[in-house]
Amino acid sequence: MTTDNGLNTDSATRDDSGASPVHLLLAACAVGAIVGIVFIIVQPWFGMSTLTSRHAAAYQELGNWSAAPAVIIAWLAHLAVSVFYGFISGLVMLKYRSLGIISLFTLAFSWITTLIAPPANALIVQLVSFQQVRPELLPGLNFLLDAKFFLHLWFFVAIVTALSVYRNKLRQDEGNARLSEVAG
């Protein structure tokens, strides 16, 4: 739809797939949560205990939390971060259409989240356990291209892939609706 000022008003509310940015970002958040759950399920396949179990144990030890609240809080913290990462991925997909640029962002997000994971996780444990924030006790950055990097890479690739499928499905549905209008 073009207004008298020559601007395409649909472009402010819809991307080229026919999906509103809000719908795509909500889908990105949902996908982030789902992939976050799968992340915890597959983590032991890489020879490590799950992030949620490590956090829950730390909450119990440092914060004197009982087991059930510690596990719930660990999952809530993990899912909040996963939803945020999904949201950020959705923003990139709204802004850029190029698979190359989206791939670069996916690689960069994987590297950055791997890099900051040790101190960020330790900080979350300090905060949730009501400890005094002590930067000197935070572990260093993780510069290794290890299993954690590949898990983060898989995480972001899964989100981008799911959002691409979602956007392509919307494009297909919109194209079919236009054909129906023309034929009808």
Q: What is the pLDDT of residues 72-125, one digit of tens each?
A: 999 999 999 999 999 999 999 999 989 999 999 999 999 999 999 999 999 999
Phi, psi of 45 (to 5 degrees): -65, -20
Mean pLDDT, residues 118-142 taken together: 91
Q: What is the mean pLDDT of the chain?
A: 88
Write out the two tokens for 125. Answer: 């444990």
pTM recorded for the entire structure: 0.84
Question: Distance (Å, rounded) from C-alpha 109 to C-alpha 103?
Answer: 10
Mean pLDDT, residues 5-34 taken together: 70
Instruction: Say what the pLDDT of residue 16 is.
Output: 54
Q: What is the dihedral of CA 163, 167, 172, 178, to 10 degrees?
A: 160
Tell me how many degrees the CA angle 84-87-88 measures, rounded to the nearest 5.
90
Instruction: Say what the pLDDT of residue 184 is.
Output: 66
Own/partner long-range contacts of 145-151 (Cβ < 8 Å, ≥24 apart): 146/114, 147/46, 147/47, 147/48, 148/48, 148/114, 148/117, 149/110, 149/111, 149/114, 150/46, 151/39, 151/42, 151/43, 151/46
Tell me the CB-side half-sphere exposure of residue 116, using CA atoms within 13 A.
9
Q: What is the pLDDT of residues 35-76, one digit of tens each?
A: 999 999 999 999 999 999 999 999 999 888 999 999 999 999
Instruction: Say what the pLDDT of residue 168 is.
Output: 87
Task: Identify whether the C-beta of residue 138 lies closer than 8 Å to the C-beta of residue 122.
Answer: yes
